[in-house]
């Protein structure tokens, strides 16, 4: 059990008994610099664009923590090196400043996903309303709120900070007492420590060069693809029938997207294989089988997005898998937490804690120093509590103005129970690295929809979903950053302040970068590249909370029950079977994405996993060293091209060539 350490932190260089020197650690205010905040804003903007692109196309987003740390290092090092050559004196770039930049960037681009720009906010707009059907029971025209810069920024400022204050006092309990691993935070800290280790300078230089090379390749390739993409959505490499026209019609093709190949390099092999397996099951067998029963199971002659036809099966079977997977993991984490609490009381903790390998005098003193520094710059409990109460009061008064159907007392109840949910999500993330904010959001959505009823229930439910997601997600992100800061000797105060600054940046940058997509493209159109697929699911969930399952096509509900139970069984098998077997059991959540979206992005990501698999077999050490840099470069390069591409679209400058494919015998 961790204990408070009252001795002051020694900031001057200290010699240990064996002669080793301890590094100088700057004060928390010196860890936050103007240059770091400028770099954070630039990278936050880029990563927001990348996140919007993936969220609006595939309904997911990449983990760019490694890219944030690496690019932050690259930009600041390049800037300081340039100024030094000009004769200017610059302050050294420390790993603490690098950690602050990474924290700020992650907080900023996290709002591009948690802010609901591809889910609950877009679910409120007119396009999603029309897509579900104006004659659909429960889908009322009164429950429409189209995106506007003003109210989106106001809403994010109101809801995005409470999660930070809800768990800030628990940092010692989570990080020192329970020694939760927070795997992503630990991995980020390992990267940053290696970047600032002089003995690894050569490797760092090669990683940065590798990232730059693949960023350039991705940017040039994305620009080249644009020239052949023509007018409309059937032209270019994005519609290349790689495996033939028949499979192309069932969405099986490789669309030459550097982004998804890069994401495939980052994601575990089992996730990429699960995506492809889901695509084969659904688009290869299930949807063709259901389509063969047109006229019996559902009427013929319907639009491709009509919820009385095949589209309903795609949406609701995907939803069943997502809910089954999410519910299982939520119950699992609650059980793990309860068991750990019991173990703590009997001193039999079996948590996956980080074991201290180095028990030498130097290693113990380094740990003592980390503990000292982590506890030195305290965030007072009274400050966190009063901040939470004040922000909750502001939100309770403001949110009903933005969303009138969500009454103030419902907002107040949400904020009363939110700290407990924030703790559960933060604790669960520390144990498993799973952030289940979307699951908590869906639970809140269902509850509010049923409480409010048909008169405004859809709008109230979607807004409540955003409230809950924002709180629990930012809380777990902050605790991840506390873990990173602990391992990089960064002050807890600097972590908290950089989270606040990054969140404030995200409240402005995320809506503005989304507005770029909204203005340049038809976001939500099922005939365009930015379909916002998850938005339909969120609105349908809200309607289900009010109306129930009436009106679904034949056999749709029994199939939903079957796939829901299948998701529970698959997850249970992963937990009860030996690791040699469980590592090959697919992930239901990943399979669900392919059920709805199609096979094309699963093919792209599978290409990425094949490249990584072969690379690991040829030279595993190089794959470990450079795969993250290659993936970040591929993702960022196409993300950068999105900016000029959007402006070209805004100014009605169309690609000069339309490359498309048809059978040789057709005219």
Per the CB < 8 A criterion, the answer to whether 96 and 488 are in contact is yes
Q: How far apart are CA 592 and CA 571, in angstroms?
A: 14
97-148 pLDDT, tens digit each: 999 999 999 999 989 988 889 888 989 998 888 888 887 777 888 888 999 9
Please determine, for residue 56, whether its predicted confidence score (pLDDT) is greater than 70: yes
pLDDT of 433 above 80:
no
pLDDT at 349: 44
Q: Residue 279: pLDDT above 80? A: yes
Question: Of the spans 165-169, 175-179, 403-407, which averages the highest pLDDT?
Answer: 403-407
CA–CA separation, 183 and 480 (whole Å): 8
Give me the pLDDT at residue 522, please.
84
Q: Crossing angle for the helix pair 65-85 and 201-226, nearest 10 degrees?
A: 110
Half-sphere exposure of 317 (CA within 13 A, CB side): 26
Instruction: Please give the pLDDT value at position 19.
Output: 39
| pTM greater than 0.85 (yes/no) | no
Q: What is the mean pLDDT of the chain?
A: 82
Contact yes or no for 252/283 (Cβ under 8 A)? yes
Query: Of all residues in the chain, what percent carry a pLDDT higher than 70?
Result: 88
Answer whether 68's CB lies under 8 Å from 457's CB.
Answer: no
Q: Tell me what the mean pLDDT of segment 397-406 comes to.
A: 93
Q: Which residues have C-beta within 8 Å of that of residue 348, sequence separation ≥ 6?
A: none
Residue 230 burial (CB count, 10 A): 18
Residue 65 has pLDDT above 80, yes or no: no
User: Quick one: pLDDT at residue 104?
Assistant: 93
- Give the chain's largest Cα–Cα span: 85
What is the rounded average pLDDT of the residues 311-327? Answer: 83
Cα Rg of the chain, angstroms: 25
The mean pLDDT of 215-228, rounded to a whole number, is: 91
pLDDT digits (tens, 9 = 90+) for 174-210: 777 767 767 677 777 777 877 787 655 677 678 778 8
Say what percent of the chain tops pLDDT 90: 24
Average pLDDT over residues 497-522: 92
Residue 201 is predicted with a pLDDT of 64
State the pLDDT at residue 286. 94
User: How far apart are the C-alpha atoms of 5 and 8, rounded to whole Å?
Assistant: 8
Residue 18, Cβ density class (10 Å: 0-12 exposed, 13-18 middle, ≥19 buried):
exposed
pLDDT tens-digit readout, 564-599? 999 999 999 988 999 889 889 998 888 887 887 788
What is the Cβ-side half-sphere exposure of residue 385, based on CA atoms within 13 angstroms?
4
Contacts 24+ apart (CB under 8 A), 74-81: 74/208, 74/211, 74/212, 75/39, 75/42, 75/43, 76/35, 76/36, 76/39, 76/101, 79/35, 79/39
In terms of average pLDDT, the best of 205-214, 232-241, 409-418 is 409-418
């Amino acid at each position: 059990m961790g204990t408070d350490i009252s001795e002051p932190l020694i900031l001057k260089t200290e010699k240990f008994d064996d002669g080793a020197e301890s590094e100088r650690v700057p004060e928390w205010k010196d860890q936050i610099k103007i240059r770091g905040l400028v770099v954070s804003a630039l990278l936050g903007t880029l990563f927001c664009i990348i996140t919007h692109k993936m969220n609006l196309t595939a309904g997911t987003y990449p983990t760019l923590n490694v890219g944030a740390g690496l690019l932050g290092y690259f930009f600041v090092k390049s800037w300081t090196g340039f100024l030094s050559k000009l004769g200017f004196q610059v302050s050294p770039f420390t790993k603490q400043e690098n950690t602050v930049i990474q924290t700020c960037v992650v907080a900023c681009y996290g709002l591009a996903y948690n802010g609901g720009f591809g889910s609950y906010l877009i679910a409120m707009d007119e396009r999603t309303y029309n897509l579900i059907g104006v004659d659909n029971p429960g889908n009322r025209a009164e429950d429409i709120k189209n995106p506007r810069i003003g109210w989106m920024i106001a809403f994010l400022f109101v809801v995005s900070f409470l999660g930070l204050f809800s768990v800030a006092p628990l940092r010692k309990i989570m990080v020192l007492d329970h020694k939760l691993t927070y795997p992503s935070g630990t991995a980020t800290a390992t990267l940053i420590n290696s970047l600032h280790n002089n003995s690894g300078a050569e490797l760092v230089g090669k990683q940065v060069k590798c990232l730059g090379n693949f960023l350039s390749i991705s940017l040039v390739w994305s620009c080249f693809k644009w020239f052949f993409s023509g007018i409309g959505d059937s032209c270019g490499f994005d519609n290349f029938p790689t495996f033939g026209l028949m499979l192309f019609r069932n969405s099986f093709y490789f669309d030459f997207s550097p982004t998804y190949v890069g994401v495939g390099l980052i994601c575990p092999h089992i996730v990429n294989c699960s995506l492809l397996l889901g695509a084969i099951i659904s688009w290869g067998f299930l949807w063709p089988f259901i389509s063969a029963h047109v006229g019996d199971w559902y009427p013929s002659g319907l639009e491709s997005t009509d919820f009385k036809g095949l589209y309903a099966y795609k949406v609701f079977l995907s939803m069943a898998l997502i809910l089954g997977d999410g519910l299982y993991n939520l119950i699992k984490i609650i059980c793990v937490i309860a068991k750990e609490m019991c173990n703590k009381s009997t001193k039999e903790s079996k948590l996956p804690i980080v074991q201290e390998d180095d028990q030498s005098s130097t290693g113990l003193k380094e740990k003592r120093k980390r503990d000292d520094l982590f506890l030195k710059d305290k965030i007072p409990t009274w400050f966190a509590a009063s901040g939470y109460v004040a922000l909750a009061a502001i939100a309770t008064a403001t949110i009903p103005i933005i969303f009138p159907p969500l009454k103030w007392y419902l907002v107040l109840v949400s904020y009363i129970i939110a700290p407990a949910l924030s703790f559960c999500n933060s604790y669960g993330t520390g144990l498993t690295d799973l952030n289940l904010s979307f699951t908590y959001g869906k639970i809140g959505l269902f509850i509010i929809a049923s409480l409010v009823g048909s008169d405004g229930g859809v709008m109230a439910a979607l807004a409540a979903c955003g409230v809950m997601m924002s709180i629990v997600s930012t809380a777990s992100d902050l605790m991840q950053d506390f873990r990173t800061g602990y391992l990089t000797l960064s002050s807890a105060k600097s972590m908290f302040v950089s989270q606040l600054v990054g969140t404030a940046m995200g409240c402005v940058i995320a809506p503005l970068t989304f507005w770029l997509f909204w203005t340049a493209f038809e976001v939500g159109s099922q005939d365009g590249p930015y379909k916002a697929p998850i938005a339909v699911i969120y609105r349908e969930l809200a309607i289900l909370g009010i109306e129930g399952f009436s009106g679904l096509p034949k056999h749709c509900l029994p199939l939903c029950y079957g796939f829901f139970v299948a998701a529970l069984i698959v997850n249970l098998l992963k937990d009860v079977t030996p690791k040699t077997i469980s590592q090959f059991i697919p992930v239901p959540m990943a399979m669900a994405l392919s059920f709805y979206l199609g096979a094309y992005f699963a093919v792209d990501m599978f290409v990425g996993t094949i490249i990584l698999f072969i690379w690991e077999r040829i030279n595993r050490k190089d794959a470990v060293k450079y795969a993250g840099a290659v993936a970040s470069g591929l993702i960022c390069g196409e993300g950068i091209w999105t900016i000029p591409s959007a402006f070209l679209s805004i100014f009605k400058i169309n690609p000069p060539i339309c490359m498309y494919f048809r059978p040789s015998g057709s005219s």
